[in-house]
């Protein structure tokens, strides 16, 4: 059997007598105690040892307890450690400031060792319960995330369909997804959609849309007929206020014809082998809202080696910079021109690297597909 590790408490006080009293009373009850007499040492120990709880004196020379907790809460490694203030101050304003900074309780000096023990126990119990709840919820959401991502086709599983993909969900239940449809040996469908909202229901709706795509994207139906039939079903099954934008490209590599169906989605980008990239612009209604849906349809000639990029609006929109996809799409063209020589399977990641550096963070889910004819 492995030896059970004791709970750890960091005691911070510039009064050595107080530290010894805390250490003696808690050590005999099975706790491991770390001690510090000033703020910088306390923060260093907290970052290194990650104690289960901190007892923190407010009135210390140099960094006060308020300064220390403020810096601890700004540190991702230490911001969740519960902090109990030790204070001789009885003013309400001081206590309120401590709670605003993230303290969970106060112990007033001079303190009794049994009171310290009782408060340490109760806040460790609360911390254990909270962490257990968070862990349980995270595990459940992680399973949902894994299930949703498992439904996304991977390029290595479709070597003949010549596509690369980038997928990033900002939340556990992402609203963006894509699918690859092998319609015949030389005909492939590439579908990319963005659900409204990012709740848990979205992850289940993804499976429904995938099933509809498999049933309706066949040689029997034209691309427009396939998406129209899918819309008619979605109108019936989607919850009120739920819809999705979508882009569907249907490539016939024998006839070298590309058909694009747009349903309220940002324009695709075509990158011919011997020409500059251009937007494939066509307007259409979103899916799942209107029975008599109007779909944007565009047909273009393509050649082997031509690439087509389809993506979700998170790639080009920015609420912070007030950029909508109507304007953001045009900004893609010079960036895609720079990655013209990238292989199709590496092009989505190369595009992300060009658009987002380490200082800029995407504000929404992102999916990018690059398809080579």
Cα–Cα distance, 289 to 242 (Å, whole number):
8
pLDDT at 141: 47
pLDDT at 1: 47
pLDDT at 245: 92
The rounded Cα 110 to chain-centroid distance in angstroms is 47
Model's pTM, two decimal places?
A: 0.60
* Both structure tokens of 303: 């050649």
Domain 8-142 has CATH 3.90.180.10: no
Helix H, strand E, coil C: the string for 30-89 is CCEEEEECCHHHHHHHHHHHCCCEEEEECCCCCCCHHHHHHHHHHCCCCCCCCEEEEECC
Per-residue pLDDT tens over the stretch 249-278: 999 999 999 999 999 999 999 999 999 999
Q: Single out the residue of 311, 330, 313 nearest to residue 164, CA to CA.
A: 311
Low-confidence ranges of the chain (pLDDT < 70): 1-4, 89-90, 133-151, 169-174, 197-204, 317-328, 357-364
**DSSP symbol at 357:** -
The dihedral of CA 361, 279, 229, 243: what is its sign?
positive
pLDDT at 203: 58
* Both structure tokens of 254: 């024998």
Residues 175 and 202: beta-carbon distance below 8 Å: yes
pLDDT at 49: 94
pLDDT at 2: 52
Residues 6 or more apart in contact with residue 106 via CB below 8 angstroms:
84, 85, 86, 87, 95, 98
Instruction: Specify the long-range contacts of residues 28-32, CB closer than 8 Å, at least 24 apart.
Output: 29/117, 30/6, 31/6, 31/7, 31/120, 32/6, 32/7, 32/8
CATH match for 151-372 among 3.60.40.10, 3.40.50.150, 3.40.640.10, 3.10.129.10: 3.60.40.10
Domain boundaries, the chain: 8-142, 151-372
pLDDT at 191: 95
Cα–Cα distance, 372 to 164 (Å, whole number):
9
């Amino acid at each position: 059997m492995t030896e059970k590790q004791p709970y750890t408490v960091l005691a911070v006080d510039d009064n050595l007598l107080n530290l010894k009293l805390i250490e003696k009373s808690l050590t005999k009850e099975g706790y491991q105690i770390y001690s510090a007499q000033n703020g910088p040492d306390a923060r260093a120990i907290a970052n290194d040892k990650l104690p289960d709880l901190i007892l923190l004196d407010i009135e210390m020379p140099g960094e006060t307890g308020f300064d220390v907790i403020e810096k601890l809460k700004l540190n991702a490694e230490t911001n969740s450690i519960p902090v109990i203030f030790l204070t001789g101050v009885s003013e309400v304003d001081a206590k309120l400031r401590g709670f605003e900074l993230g303290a969970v309780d106060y112990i007033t000096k001079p303190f009794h060792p049994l009171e310290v023990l009782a408060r340490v126990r109760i806040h460790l119990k609360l911390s254990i319960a909270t962490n257990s709840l968070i862990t349980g919820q995270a595990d459940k959401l992680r399973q949902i995330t894994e299930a949703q991502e498992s439904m996304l086709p991977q390029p290595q599983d479709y070597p003949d369909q010549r596509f690369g993909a980038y997928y990033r969900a900002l939340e556990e239940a992402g609203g963006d997804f894509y699918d690859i449809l092998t319609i015949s040996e030389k005909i492939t469908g590439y579908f990319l959609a963005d659900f409204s909202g990012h709740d848990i229901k979205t992850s289940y709706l993804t499976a429904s849309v995938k099933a509809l795509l498999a049933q309706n994207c066949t040689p029997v139906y034209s691309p427009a007929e396939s998406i129209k039939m899918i819309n008619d079903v979605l109108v019936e099954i989607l919850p009120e206020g739920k819809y999705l934008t979508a882009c569907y490209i249907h490539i016939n590599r024998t006839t070298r014809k590309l058909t694009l169906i747009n349903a309220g989605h940002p324009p695709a980008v075509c990158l011919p082998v011997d020409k500059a990239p251009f937007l494939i612009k066509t307007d259409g209604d979103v899916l799942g809202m209107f029975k008599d849906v109007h779909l944007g349809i565009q047909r273009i000639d393509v050649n082997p080696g031509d690439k087509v990029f389809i993506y979700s609006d998170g790639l080009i929109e920015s609420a912070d910079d007030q950029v909508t996809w109507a304007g953001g799409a045009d900004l893609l063209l010079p960036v895609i021109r720079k990655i013209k020589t990238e292989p199709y399977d590496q092009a989505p990641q190369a595009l992300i690297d060009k658009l987002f550096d380490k200082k800029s963070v995407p504000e929404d889910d992102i999916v990018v597909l690059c398809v080579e004819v």
